[in-house]
Amino acid sequence: MRLHVAEHPLITHKLTVLRDETTPSPVFRQLTEELVTLLAYEATRNVRVESAEIVTPVTPTTGVRISEPRPLVVPILRAGLGMLEGMVKLIPTAEVGFLGMVRNEETLEPSTYAERLPDDLSDRQCFVLDPMLATGGSLGAAIEFLFARGAQDVTAICLLGAPEGVAAIEKQVGDRDVTLVLGALDQKLNEKGYIVPGLGDAGDRLYGTV
């Protein structure tokens, strides 16, 4: 597994505002979108391309374009949905699949309540979006879903990660092709499975308590 933790003052600045408990939902949503676009720049570094012949107003030349099959972007509902716009801004030709997962707040075990993905993901590059990597249960289950359908490689973009979650994903994926891109690697999980210092419940801060 490859781990990339962003080191950029703009990302840290935006994360600081995001973490602040006084930041209201509309600002939180806007910042989430902006952060994803910045992180997606790094996360798509290995997106597959093929050569493309074009003619500029001056001369024929060879460039590249994103290969078929197109990348698949998978937000994990509900909080991952807040990251979708920021991602597709950068790769507008990507397809989008959905996974709905919720973590039991007592046992911290994830369960899947919705799934809308292509049946066959052979040769597909997949990008999973979830703002929070806490125990790693939700992201780990999403990664297994995608590889079970034949995904070639999986890149996960998370705004914040806990060391416990990173270690769990690393152990789970073994030598499969997985990249983790984090906005920041935080200190630890608390006794309730929340990331410390974290930002609280990302889904609630994006969409309100349900």
Residues annotated as binding site? 78, 103, 130-138, 195, 200-202
What is residue 2's three-state secondary structure? Answer: strand
CA 86, CA 192: separation in Å to the nearest integer? 30
CB of 195 to ligand URA, least distance (A): 4
CA 47, CA 35: separation in Å to the nearest integer? 19
Answer yes or no: 204 catalytic: yes
Binding residues vs ligand PRP (CB under 6 A): 76, 78-79, 101-103, 108, 110, 130-139, 165, 193, 201-203
CB-wise, 47 or 108, nearer to ligand PRP?
108
Q: Could you say whether residue 195 binds ligand URA (CB under 6 A)?
A: yes
CB-wise, 83 or 94, nearer to ligand PRP?
83
Which residue among 134, 181, 182, 184 contacts ligand URA (CB under 6 A)?
134
**Per rule CB under 6 A, count of chain residues that contact ligand URA:** 8
Q: Could you say whether residue 105 binds ligand URA (CB under 6 A)?
A: no
Other Cβ atoms closer than 10 A to 82? 25
Cβ atoms of residues 177 and 147 within 8 Å: no
**Binding annotation for uracil:** 195, 200-202
Answer yes or no: 19 catalytic: no
Catalytic residue among 29, 70, 103, 149: 103
Q: Tell me phi and psi for residue 69, to 5 degrees.
A: -70, 150
Tokens 């049946």 found at? 119
CA 62, CA 174: separation in Å to the nearest integer? 38
Answer yes or no: 186 catalytic: no
Residue 198 contact partner, candidates ligand URA, ligand PRP, none, CB within 5 to 8 A by sort of partner: ligand URA
- Residues 126/107/195/100 CA torsion (nearest 10 deg): 30
Q: Could you say whether residue 169 binds ligand URA (CB under 6 A)?
A: no
Determine how β-strand 110-116 pairs with β-strand 98-103: antiparallel
Q: Which residue is nearest to ligand PRP (CB)?
A: 203
Q: What is the DSSP secondary structure assignment for residue 124, as one 8-state letter?
A: -
Residues with active-site annotation: 103, 107, 201, 204
